[in-house]
Structure 1
Amino acid sequence: MAELVAAAVQMRSGVSPEANIAVMTELVRDAASRGARYVQTPEMTGAIQKDRAGLKRILKTEAEDPVLRAASDLARELGICLHIGSTAIDAGDGMTANRAVVFGPDGGVLGRYDKIHMFDVDLDNGESWRESAVYRPGEVARILDVEGARLGLGICYDIRFPQLFRDLALAGADILSAPAAFTRQTGEAHWHVLQRARAIENGAFLISAAQGGRHEDGRETYGHSLIIDPWGRVIAEADGDEPGVIVATLALDAVKAARAKIPNLRNARQYSVDAGAKGAHGA
Structure 2
Amino acid sequence: MTATPVRIAAVQMVSGPDVDANLRVAAELIAEAAAAGARLVALPEYFPLLSADETAKVRIRERDGDGPLQDFLRDSARRHGICVVGGTLPLAAGAAGKVRNSTLVYGADGERLARYDKIHLFGFRKGEERYDEAATIEAGSTPVVFDSPAGRTGLSVCYDLRFPELFRAMGELDLIILPAAFTHTTGQAHWEVLLRARAIENQCYVLAPAQGGRHPSGRVTWGHSMLIDPWGEVLACRAEGPGVVVAEVDPARIAAVRASLPALRHRCL
Smaller-chain TM-score range?
A: over 0.9
- Match in the other structure for 1:111: 114
Partner of 1:44, secondary structure, is coil
Equivalenced residues, count: 266
Give the root-mean-square deviation of aligned CA atoms: 1.3
Deviations along 1:80-118, one digit per CA (max 9) or x if unpaired, are 000012112222432211100010000110001000101
In structure 2, C-alpha distance between the alignment counterparts of 1:148 and 1:30, rounded to whole Å: 19
Letter in 1 for 2:121: M
Residue 256 in structure 1 maps to residue 255 in structure 2? yes
Deviation of 1:148 (Å): 5.2
Match of 1:155 among 157, 161, 165: 157
Change (3 A) 1:21 1:62: farther
1:57 to partner: Cα distance: 2.5
Kept after mapping to 1: 8 A contact 2:150/2:174: no
- Following TM superposition, where does structure 1 have runs of at least 4 consecutive aligned residues deviating by more than 4 angstroms? none
Cα shift at 1:2: 1.9
Q: How far did residue 264 of structure 1 move?
A: 1.8
Residue identity opposite 2:49 in structure 1 = A
- For 2:215, give the aligned amino acid: H
Q: CA deviation at 1:198?
A: 0.5
Matches within 5 A, 1:64-213: 64-94=66-96, 95-123=98-126, 125-147=127-149, 149-168=151-170, 171-213=171-213
The alignment's TM-score, normalised by the length of structure 2, stands at 0.95
Q: Tell me the amino acid that sits aligned with residue 253 of structure 2.
A: A
Percent identity between matched residues is: 42
Do the aligned partners of residues 167 and 257 (structure 1) sit closer, same or farther apart at CA in structure 2, a change above 3 Å counting?
farther
- For 1:24 and 1:218, the matched residues in 2 are separated by 21
> Is the CA contact (8 Å cut-off) linking 2:60 and 2:90 kept in structure 1?
no
CA distance in 2, matches of 1:4, 1:147: 7
Q: Distance in 1 between matches of 2:174 and 2:106?
A: 19
Look up the equivalent residue of 1:127 and give its one-letter code. E
Aligned CA distance change for structure 1 residues 230 and 68 (closer, same or farther; 3 Å): same
Report the equivalent of 2:225: 225
Q: Is the 8 A contact 1:17 1:66 kept in 2?
A: no
Pairwise CA distance, 1:56: 2.7
Q: Which residue of 2 aligns with 1:26?
A: 28
In 1, the alpha carbon distance for the partners of 2:163 and 2:223 equals 20
Q: Which has the larger radius of gyration?
A: 1
Once the two structures are superposed, residues 180-222 of structure 1 have per-residue CA deviations (whole angstroms, 9 ceiling, x without a partner) of 0000011111111011110011100000000011112221100
Q: Is the contact made by 2:153 and 2:177 (CA closer than 8 Å) also made in structure 1?
A: yes
Structure 2 gap ranges (5+): none
CA distance in 2, matches of 1:90, 1:49: 18
After superposing the two structures, state which structure 1 stretch, 180-189 or 63-72, moved more.
Answer: 63-72
CA-CA distance at 1:18 after TM superposition: 1.3
Label 1:252 to 1:64 Cα distance change in 2 as closer, same or farther (>3 A): same
**Aligned residue in 1 for 2:64:** 62
- Letter of the aligned partner of 2:183 in structure 1? T
Aligned to 1:13, what secondary structure does the other structure show? Answer: coil
Task: Work out whether residues 95 and 138 of structure 2, in 8 Å CA contact, stay in contact via their aligned partners in 1.
Answer: no
Match of residue 3 from structure 1: 5
| 2:237 is equivalent to residue 234 of structure 1 | no
Stretches of structure 1 lacking an aligned partner (at least 5 in a row): 271-283
